[in-house]
């Protein structure tokens, strides 16, 4: 973990080993075996992370907000386990072309929390499942992750927010302490009107037979000169404004995917075997969560934003630290600890270059 954080670039398995100053101590095969053959459970690590996030970053007894989504890490090579062509929302294509890429697709569950030094919610990924064609569907994998979180925290109410692709029949049967919120499918049909709209004309008179599964609320939002949207939820008690705010907080998991990929280095490891593929990218995203935890407990200072604006006086809109600020501060702390005067051995030219890159990144 320290090598992954300290490395400003080349976040492969060997790159982590080198940045941790263990390249001359461990054989590189030992680092690869940690992901490929070592006996440890990714679910157990993720559930431990759930306990840390809930214990440190949420008020006692408050409901938990869990965002569920899938993300793709592009991979090449015929022998990469779990690499298939799939939808890639981040790919830029010409009009009319499909957003497809070849890689590994993970279903991710993230806890959405609010931190006192940020103005927006932040998503902290904790649990993962690798999707493969012919295996369990992404909603089925999402149901497994939601059940794990609800089972480990039966004392908390769990509000799950997801996108329209995951909001389907598979997620009907969730634990009793779980609610589900997301956009309804385009072909959804309502079988009953709200009492306040009992005189309104029904828009759909014909269609498939009525299927009554669970009582839900549908909230339609309209704004002048903007496209409207709808949200369906199984939460029947929370106010409409809080439901809309909860649905909007789902976007935090998209930001977490972007930061974990482009800043922490998720997806840069080039391993191919089943266990290594299933563990390495989630391991890197878990480090992303640990960085935020460390910054909240020991790293935050109002001087972070002040120093940044002093270095970049043209950046007048910055008022809160970003994830990059958190990562850079922890990287500088780790590098300073690596090269203390009381440690034996002089740093190599490559290590000195890594320090210069880290400090240049912090000053950018």
3-30 pLDDT, tens per residue? 899 888 888 999 888 888 888 888 989 9
- When pLDDT is cut at 50, 70 and 90, the band that residue 184 belongs to is confident
CA count, 13 A, side-chain hemisphere, 258: 12
CA gap 89, 94 in Å, rounded: 13
Residue 38 has pLDDT above 70, yes or no: yes
pLDDT of residue 239: 93
Distance of CA 230 to CAs 120, 163, 181, 184, 185, Å?
A: 22, 12, 11, 7, 10
Beta strands in 209-351 (DSSP E): 217-223, 226-233
- When pLDDT is cut at 50, 70 and 90, the band that residue 42 belongs to is very high
- Of 121, 115, 127, 124, residue with least CA distance to 42: 127
Angle at 351 between CA 350 and CA 354, to 5 degrees: 90
pLDDT of residue 288: 93
Neighbours of 313 (CB within 10 A): 7
Would strands 158-161 and 64-74 be described as parallel, antiparallel, or unpaired?
Answer: parallel
Classify 28 in phi/psi space as left (phi over 0), alpha (psi -120 to 50) or beta.
alpha
Residue 162's φ and ψ, nearest 5 degrees, are -145, 180
Distance of CA 281 to CAs 39, 64, 103, 108, 329, Å?
A: 17, 25, 12, 11, 23
Mean pLDDT calculated for residue range 326-346: 75
Residue carrying the six token digits 């006996």: 39
Residue 289's φ and ψ, nearest 5 degrees, are -65, -40
Are 363 and 34 contacting, i.e. CB atoms less than 8 angstroms apart?
no
| Helix or strand run (H / E) with residue 185 | none
In the predicted model, what is the mean pLDDT of the chain?
85
CB burial of residue 194 (10 Å; 0-12, 13-18, 19+): exposed
pLDDT of residue 360: 66
| Helix or strand run (H / E) with residue 42 | helix 42-57
Distance of CA 94 to the CA centre of its chain: 27
User: What's the token pair of residue 281?
Assistant: 């990218």
């Amino acid at each position: 973990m320290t090598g992954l954080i300290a490395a400003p670039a080349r976040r492969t398995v060997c790159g982590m080993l080198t940045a941790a100053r263990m390249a001359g101590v461990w054989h590189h095969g030992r680092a690869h075996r940690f992901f490929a053959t070592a006996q440890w459970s990714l679910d157990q690590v993720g559930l431990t992370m759930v306990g840390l996030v809930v214990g440190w970053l949420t008020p006692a007894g408050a409901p938990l907000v869990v965002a569920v989504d899938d993300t793709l890490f592009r991979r090449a090579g015929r022998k990469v386990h779990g690499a298939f062509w799939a939808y890639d929302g981040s790919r830029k294509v010409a009009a009319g072309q499909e957003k497809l890429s070849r890689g590994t697709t993970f279903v991710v569950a993230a806890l959405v929390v609010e931190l006192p030094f940020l103005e927006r919610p932040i998503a902290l990924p904790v649990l993962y499942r690798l999707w493969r064609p012919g295996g369990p569907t992404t909603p089925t994998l999402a149901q497994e992750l939601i059940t794990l979180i609800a089972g480990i925290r039966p004392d908390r109410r769990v509000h799950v927010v997801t996108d329209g692709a995951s909001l389907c029949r598979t997620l009907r049967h969730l634990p009793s302490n779980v609610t589900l919120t997301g956009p309804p499918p385009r072909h959804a049909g309502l079988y009953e009107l709200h009492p306040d709209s009992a005189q309104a004309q029904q828009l759909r008179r014909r269609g498939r037979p009525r299927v009554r599964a669970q009582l839900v609320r549908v909230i339609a939002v309209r704004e002048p000169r903007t496209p409207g949207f709808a949200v369906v939820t199984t939460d029947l008690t929370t106010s409409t404004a809080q439901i809309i705010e909860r649905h909007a907080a789902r976007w935090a998991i998209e930001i977490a995917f972007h930061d974990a990929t482009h800043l922490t280095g998720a997806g840069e490891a080039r391993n191919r075997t089943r266990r290594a593929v299933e563990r390495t990218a989630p391991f890197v995203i878990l480090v992303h969560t640990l960085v935020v935890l460390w910054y909240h407990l020991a790293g935050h200072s109002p001087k972070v934003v002040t120093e940044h604006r002093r270095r970049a006086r043209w950046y007048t809109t910055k008022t809160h630290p970003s994830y990059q600020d958190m990562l850079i501060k922890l990287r500088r702390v780790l590098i300073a600890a690596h090269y203390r005067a009381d440690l034996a051995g002089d740093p190599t030219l490559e290590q000195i270059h890594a320090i210069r890159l880290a400090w240049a990144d912090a000053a950018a």
